[in-house]
Amino acid sequence: MIEGLFFLIFGLAALYFTLWIFILLPARMAEARGRSAFGWVLLSIFFSPILACLLLWLLGNNPNRQTD
């Protein structure tokens, strides 16, 4: 019983961490820099979330960004 609960909690934590790395982190970084969150999430999924985040960090803010 306890082992099942442990594996359930561990599995949910691993799932959340994976979603955070592949989807939430690149999307938030892209939005904060005025770039397409959808495109950067696709890049993260198909290539590497580390690569996507590193590229976003290196590219910085979008110079053509329209502010409200």
Q: What is the mean pLDDT of the chain?
A: 91
Q: Is 41 or 62 the better-scoring residue by pLDDT? A: 41
Q: Is 68 or 7 the better-scoring residue by pLDDT? A: 7
Q: What pLDDT does 68 receive?
A: 57
Given a contact cutoff of 8 angstroms between Cβ atoms, the answer to whether 55 and 26 are in contact is no
Helix, strand, coil shares of the chain, percent, nearest 5, are: 75, 0, 25
Using one digit for the tens of pLDDT, what is the confidence trace for 45-60? Answer: 999 999 999 999 999 8
Q: Is 62 or 52 the better-scoring residue by pLDDT? A: 52
Round to the nearest angstrom and report the end-to-end CA distance of the chain.
Answer: 54
Q: What pLDDT does 64 receive?
A: 80
pTM exceeds 0.85: no
